Homo-oligomer: A and B are copies of this chain.
C-alpha cells in the first residue's frame, strides 16, 4: 500500500489498519528536573487539586505515560517537589550560643518558604523525609540542639516536634488557600475577612447556654491571623525546649 503524499491528485487515504508512518516528531527531551519544575509551577499557579500527571504531561506537550520514565509515580513526584522547595530554605552558620534565636529564625524561614509555595505543604506531611534538602535541614536542627547541650536522643524528638509543627501549620494554611481559590477569590486579605465573618456569624448563632465561652468571646476567637498564631505556638515550643536545656538558668 503506497500512500503518495503532497499534491498528488485524487489522493487515496491510507487504509485505517495501516498506521501512518508518523509525522516527523521532534521528540521533546524530558528530564526529572523539568518534570519537577513543571509540577511545582502548576502547584503554585493552580493548586494541589490541579496537579495531576496528565496536567504535567500536557504542559510538556506529551502524554502522561512519558513521565514514568523519569518519575516512579505521583507520590514520588510530590516528594521530589517538596524536597526542591525545601532547598529554598536558607540556613545560617550554626551558632550554638544563640540556638534559640537561630531555631526561631529557621522556623520563620521555613514558614515563609512553605507559605510562598502554599500547596506544597499538602505534599509534605505525606512524605517521609529522605530527600537531600530534608536531611540538610535535619542536620542543621539536630546539630544545633546537640551543640547547644541537649542529649542527642532528646534533640531528635525536639527537632521532630518542631518540624511537625511547622509543616502542620503550613498544611492548615494551604487548605484555607484552597478554599479561597475554590471560592473564586484571589485576595487573601479579602478572603480572610469574609471567612472570619462567616465563622463569627456561625458561632454567634449557637446556643449560648450550652457553649457560653465560645459564644461570649467570638471576637477573641477570630482576632489573630495565621502569622500571629504561628509565632505564638512557635514560642510555646521554643520556651519548652529552653526549659529542657541542661544548665540553662
Mark the stretch among A18-26, A32-40, A151-159 that contacts chain B. Answer: A151-159
Contact (Cβ within 8 A) B233 A241: no
Contact mask for chain A residues 201-232; partner B; CB cutoff 8 A; 1 contact, 0 none: 01100100011111001001101100011001
**Residues on the B chain within 8 Å of A155, using CB:** 220
Give the docked Cα–Cα distance between A235 and B143 (Å).
22
**Residues on the B chain within 8 Å of A180, using CB:** none
Contact (Cβ within 8 A) A232 B125: no
Identify which of B167, B172, B213, B240 contacts A237 (C-beta below 8 A): B240
Give the docked Cα–Cα distance between A236 and B161 (Å).
9
Q: Let me know if A139 is at the binding interface, CB within 8 A.
A: yes
Contact (Cβ within 8 A) B232 A157: yes
Contact (Cβ within 8 A) B232 A158: yes
Contact (Cβ within 8 A) B152 A233: no
Give the docked Cα–Cα distance between A136 and B207 (Å).
11
- The 11 sampled A-B contact pairs (Cβ below 8 Å) are A126-B175, A135-B203, A139-B212, A143-B213, A155-B220, A156-B220, A157-B233, A158-B236, A238-B240, A239-B239, A239-B243
Contact (Cβ within 8 A) A199 B128: yes
Closest beta carbon of chain B to A164's beta carbon, Å? 6
Q: Let me know if A31 is at the binding interface, CB within 8 A.
A: no
Contact (Cβ within 8 A) A211 B164: no
Q: Let me know if A142 is at the binding interface, CB within 8 A.
A: yes
**Residues on the B chain within 8 Å of A157, using CB:** 224, 228-229, 232-233
Q: Please judge, given known A-B contacts A142-B214, A164-B168, whether A223 and B153 are in contact too, CB under 8 Å.
A: yes
Nearest residue, chain B, Cβ from A94: B213
**Residues on the B chain within 8 Å of A115, using CB:** none
Identify which of B202, B223, B236, B239 contacts A130 (C-beta below 8 A): B202
Nearest residue, chain B, Cβ from A229: B157
Contact (Cβ within 8 A) B172 A164: yes
Nearest residue, chain B, Cβ from A129: B199
Contact (Cβ within 8 A) A172 B223: no
Q: Let me know if A106 is at the binding interface, CB within 8 A.
A: no
**Residues on the B chain within 8 Å of A128, using CB:** 199
**Residues on the B chain within 8 Å of A142, using CB:** 213-214, 217, 221
**Residues on the B chain within 8 Å of A169, using CB:** 164
Give the docked Cα–Cα distance between A139 and B210 (Å).
9
